[in-house]
Amino acid sequence: MQISVLAVGRQKAGPEKILFDTYAKRITWPFEIIEVMEHRKLSSSELKQREGALLLAKIPDGAVVIVLDERGKELDSRGLAGKIEGWRDNGLRHIVFIIGGADGIDEPLKKRANLIISLGRMTWPHMLVRALIAEQVYRAQCILSGHPYHRD
């Protein structure tokens, strides 16, 4: 199963990247991050639309799309692992996590989503969210393989 993280912005060297890389290396499923960025000066609504279009264009055909949004559904780690397991067992081969820009996720992208999740009500830096998703994908992999990494 291929797992992709589509994210707005470029991650630079620093502790967030080190943390992301640490978990990404532990994931045995094919795992990648794809970054998009709009360089033009646009209004907030135009920028959100443009970023949404750039992200939509990178979604592979047939992929399951999980959008991260503060108003999304909150799942625990076993819940996310269960979703991944269900998609895997139904023959779906690609899962894409979407991390939008500072202005949020454009509506067409939300409509394309199979699932909209929240990492909680707190605001998280987008570069740290990448590490959080990598850790949760690794944790889901461990849960599904029966590895003792996850403890309830």
What integer pLDDT is reported at residue 151 of this predicted model? Answer: 65
Q: Count the helix, strand and coil residues of the chain and give each as a percent rounded to the nearest 5.
A: 45, 25, 35
Starting at the earlier edge strand, list the strands of the sheet with 2-8. 31-36, 2-8, 94-99, 64-74, 115-118
Q: Would you give per-residue pLDDT tens digits along the chain (152 residues)?
A: 899 999 999 999 999 999 999 999 999 999 999 999 988 888 999 999 999 999 999 999 999 999 999 999 999 999 999 999 999 999 999 999 999 998 899 999 999 999 999 999 888 888 999 999 999 999 999 999 988 766 66
What integer pLDDT is reported at residue 150 of this predicted model? Answer: 60
Task: State how far the Cα of 112 lies from the Cα of 45, in Å rounded to an integer.
Answer: 19
CB 128 within 8 A of CB 16: yes
What integer pLDDT is reported at residue 123 of this predicted model? Answer: 86
What integer pLDDT is reported at residue 147 of this predicted model? Answer: 83
Out of 3.40.1280.10, 3.30.70.20, 3.40.50.920, 3.10.105.10, which CATH number does the structure's domain 2-145 have?
3.40.1280.10
pTM, two decimal places: 0.93
Residue 22 has which token pair?
């640490």
Q: How far apart are the first and last CA of the chain?
A: 25
